[in-house]
Amino acid sequence: MQTTYIETQNVTFLDFKKQILDDYKLGRISREMSYLARREVLTGKAKFGIVGDGKELPQIAMSKIFKNGDFRSGYYRDQTFSMAVGALTIESFFAQLYADTSVEREPASAGRQMNGHFATRSLNEDGTWKDLTKIKNISSDISPTAGQMPRLLGLAHASKVYKSINFPGAEKFSNNGNEVAFGTIGDASTAEGHFWETLNAACAMQVPMILSIWDDGYGISVPTYNQRAKEDMVEMLSGFQRKEGKKEGCEIIKVKAWDYPALLEAYARAEHFARVESVPVVLHVEEVTQPQGHSTSGSHERYKSEERLQWETEHDGLLKFKQWISNYSIDIDGETHTLATWEELDEIDKVAKKTVKEGQKRSWEDYRNSIDDIRDQALPHIEALAVEIPEIKNEIAKFKRVISLGKKDVFHLIRKTLLWTRNIDSNDRKKLKEIYENAAEKEENNYSSHLYSESNWRTSNIKEVKPVYSDQSEMVDGRVVIRNNFDKIFEKYPDALVFGEDAGKIGDVNQGLEGLQAKYGDVRISDTGIREATILGQGIGLAMRGLRPIAEIQYLDYILYCLQGLSDDLATVHYRTKGGQKAPLIVRTRGHRLEGIWHSGSPMAGIINLVKGINVLVPRNLTKAAGFYNTLFQSDEPAIVVETLNGYRLKEKQPDNIGEFTVPIGKIEVTKDGKDVTLVTYGSTWRIVTEAAEELEKLGISAEIIDIQSLIPFDIDNEILESVKKTNRLVVIDEDVEGGTTAFMLQQIVEKQGAFKYLDSTPISIAAKNHRPAYASDGDYFSKPSVDDVVEKVYMLFHETNPLKFPKF
């Protein structure tokens, strides 16, 4: 069992004094960083500033109990905490403020996130995991308020999982489950549903979590009494307080943000509950101040009264800390000992200000050098080319008037010069073009890399293993194929686990996990409450801690509850850390081809447009789905797998190599050869299209059917283009609304692959009506593409080109 902060506090007075003065110095440095950051924004050297002034003391107290292996999922003002645990320096703070794209100088996001968004790097450069038990871990922050909460649940749940299961390599991720997950949130954000859903789940699951609420009384300009049911957060949360002898609920602690001794005691108690008893804890840190207001976007003088502003000045945490230090004295062996005089603390203030200024200056110079370097390379060649071209001279003049020069200004000048000198063949132009191409490649890496994995385990590297069939291969229900495949996955991968509504005891509503909880236990195959957002977040946190979770969302329509987390968190983890963190979560769901407004949706276009960074896989049957799961467990990328709801009871031949065969991601499959028209579809609609193609053959039309299999990525080898070259006609079919995924497929095929050059007819899309199917028995037929719809619309395509052979009917 790990020791706690309480158990380690047996120090001499000199050690105690050093700790206090070090804490004060850190607080002052952080405050000076906040002050200077605001000035840098207001003078135009940075775009925006949101800082952590006023929260220094509680964050210092929290850092005391934060150990190697622990994780934080937090709020974008935790700069003092991040400094205290070694995840932030003065230089990296200002590098992030300036949006420096160097991962060495700004390791949290390499300029991809605005300031105040912190992260540590969980991965080595090759994408392998670091030993997370030897570092203090910060999961990458996001801006959406309370969006960090669902992930927090998973980070805490991982410790509980590691207490129960072990596997080779687990020692890199956990020390027998003794880690605590720390969350931080602004009090106004507790009005968000994500806060309540996460707290409810954490209390039900009893996970080791410490959640700090920084309560400054406002949400930007909106005061507390307009934010929540009761101003007293502890009173409002009292129903969550656990009762003696009960294993449900949480511990709730209230403490003032300016009371240093009380903060240390509060966090020490919280650590005991979380780390020793595995109980979630909520710390309501009240009377927090914001000396500079919410952000550089506005002034808090606009909405705070003079009395409130005066109170905040008097209750500033650092001022209160300074007063406490200067008034502190203790008798030891008849001798009075003090910590520091006011004058000595003033000297610490001065040194802190000077230290921060020096660090900021270094950061600014490093940032400027990266821009000035390309400018200095390119400008002599541009000026040489401008001698005979007035337009370039004008561009140079405008360029030299720019006050705060950015990369975009340099690139704009280079590109304009290359455009105006397109007919010139000179050494200066050749050199300028070379400079541009080298710089553009570097900036492509700076701004657009790592949306997906670039490691050896990226999906495109996973070898295809085809399913093997023999005379002994059985015809079984599709659900049996997927169940038996999951059985092999859980046998093969001890770090695999699945959870969701009804996923455990009954083996999911379609029995795709039937009997697996009894075989592998309720830690690995588990039920959850009806709480889709935190089912997703649970998966994200578990994946960030080295496990291989499958988060089950019962129906595709319900995934809409998860879209915020999918889009803002999971899809951006790898990108927003420039390869520093990953969360290879698999989201399992099912949908398509049913009646009823909320059990028949196919919101695929909404999904694919919001989750770039996640693979979106749409298998046509359960064997294909099983192959995708086998592929994904060898990969380190996140994915959504949409199983076909009407496939669980349809018969499929079960492969002999169940659990071993793989389906390549991003590869299409031609399921029927044809010569007259290319029909492109996916998922359940494939069966409709296949039946329609049989009818078309009888009408003299030979259709080639392509199952795209995955929407993201889409046909990575441009194989659909080869089909269009042969047939010269293209029809895309799905059951999303008009202009939905069919529009995406057309754009990819016609524009990106260049199929327009080979078309003899207008490409058409066949989609669903712009509403969801009614529950009436024939709702699907009249709302979504039917066999009749596909046959008639494809037939009319041929009528337009040859009305004699294909007369109108």
How many CA atoms lie less than 13 Å away from 43 in the CB half-sphere? Answer: 9
Please give the Cα distance from 349 to 775 (Å, whole number). Answer: 70
- Residue 626, judged by CB atoms within 10 A of its CB (0-12, 13-18, 19+), counts as buried
| Max Cα–Cα distance, the chain, nearest Å | 115
Please give the Cα distance from 399 to 382 (Å, whole number). Answer: 12
Question: With the CA atoms of 74, 77, 81 and 86 taken in that order, what torsion angle do they form, in degrees rounded to the nearest 10?
Answer: 90
Q: Which residues of 443-472 are buried (b: 16+ CB within 10 A; e: fewer)?
A: eeebeeebebbebebebeebeebebeeeee
- Residue 482, judged by CB atoms within 10 A of its CB (0-12, 13-18, 19+), counts as buried
Please give the Cα distance from 157 to 11 (Å, whole number). Answer: 34
Dihedral sign for Cα atoms in the order 358, 369, 40, 100: negative
The 3-state DSSP class for residue 318 equals helix
At residue 303, φ and ψ (nearest 5 deg) are -125, -5
Collect all residues with Cβ–Cβ distance below 8 Å to 767 and sequence separation of at least 6: 733, 734, 735, 736, 737, 738, 739, 740, 742, 785
Length of the chain equals: 809
Q: Annotated catalytic, 300?
A: no
Pairing of strands 639-644, 615-617: parallel
Helix or strand (DSSP H, E) at 324:
helix 317-327
What are 173's two structure tokens?
């991720």
Collect all residues with Cβ–Cβ distance below 8 Å to 481 and sequence separation of at least 6: 622, 623, 626, 652, 654, 655, 658
Q: Could you tell me how far CA 418 lies from the centroid of its own chain?
A: 38
Q: What secondary structure letter does DSSP report for 565?
A: H
Helix or strand (DSSP H, E) at 159:
helix 149-164
Long-range contacts of 35-40 (CB under 8 A, 24+ apart): 35/292, 36/94, 36/356, 36/357, 36/360, 37/93, 37/94, 37/97, 37/115, 38/292, 38/296, 40/94, 40/97, 40/98, 40/360
Q: Where would I find the H helices in 9-144?
A: 13-42, 56-64, 79-84, 90-97
What are 164's two structure tokens?
């129960």
What are 411's two structure tokens?
């690139």
Q: Where would I find the H helices in 500-646?
A: 516-520, 532-544, 563-568, 573-576, 604-610, 622-632
Collect all residues with Cβ–Cβ distance below 8 Å to 412 and sequence separation of at least 6: 399
For Cα atoms 361, 366, 367, give the angle at the middle one, nearest 5 degrees.
100
Instruction: Evaluate the omega torsion of the peptide bond into residue 773 and state whether it is cis, within 30 degrees of 0.
Output: no
Please give the Cα distance from 798 to 312 (Å, whole number). Answer: 76
Which entry of 117, 599, 771, 799 is annotated as an active-site residue? 599
Please give the Cα distance from 642 to 617 (Å, whole number). Answer: 6
Can you name the residues that pair with 664 across neighbouring β-strands?
A: none
Task: Please state whether 502 falls in left (phi above 0), alpha (psi between -120 and 50) or beta.
Answer: left
Q: How far is CA 131 from CA 72, 121, 138, in A?
A: 16, 11, 14
Residues with catalytic function: 599
